[in-house]
Homo-oligomer: A and B are copies of this chain.
Amino acid sequence: MKNKYIPDDTIRRLPVYLRNLLNLKKQEKKIASSKEICFSLNILPDQFRKDISYFGTFGKRGVGYDVDKLIYTLEKIIGIDKKVKVILVGVGRLGSALIRYKGFSALNIEISYAFDNDPKKIGKIIEGIEVKDIEKMEEILKEEKILVGIICVPANKAQKVAEYMVKSGIKGVLNFAPTTLNLPKKIFVSYVDMASELGSLIFKLNNL
């Protein structure tokens, strides 16, 4: 699959399909139609079929998709068929909430290390994870290959933290700080921009 062009929107929908499939599995569904897989997603079944066609041929016309098989395939495609460890920097209120957030584990993602520079936070244990001194990050990531880091520090500290992450070997950054990061092109950066989401919503209410 390397180097094949896959639209960004397709990529963003993969974990969403996976979550709906996991729900169907919980309901003990064995076979699901594309309509069921798209249930309440605002995605047309055609779009789903197009999205997964990038990765091969799945499902049987008129029958549907084997739920277990498609879950396995999607986990494999995304790269979460084995547990993926990530780190988090910034154990403030948002950071602590994320450490305790249950949504990650459904996708086989685990926050394995949390870092902060505040002596009052270092050593604290949250959800079984000890908050470590941020200065230990490089050393820890030398021992254990972790590629993804979550940034939950204030906006004015995010760039410096991101650079240190990259220096320590992180290749993908999920940034919650309300600011944009300036990193080498080879680093993947995603933003969870809560205020902008609210802003867009308010725009739509006022204009559409």
Contacts and interface: CB of A to CB of B under 8 A. Distances in A.
A202 B96 contact: no
A44 to B, nearest CB: 14
A28 interface: no
A40 B180 contact: yes
Given A94-B97, A201-B190, A196 B79 contact: no
Given A96-B97, A101-B94, A174-B198, A11 B109 contact: no
Contacts of A20: 180
Nearest to A111: B198
Interface string A190-207: 101111111111111111
Question: Which of A11, A40, A192, A203 has the most chain B CB atoms closer than 10 A to its own CB?
Answer: A203
Given A204-B11, A207-B79, A195 B109 contact: yes
Interface in A162-187: 171-174, 178-182
A78 B203 contact: yes
A103 B180 CA distance: 13
5 contacts: A18-B199, A93-B101, A109-B195, A109-B198, A188-B205
Interface of A: 1-2, 6, 11-12, 14-16, 18-20, 23, 39-42, 77-80, 84, 86, 92-94, 96-98, 100-104, 106-107, 109, 147-148, 150, 154-155, 171-174, 178-182, 188-190, 192-208
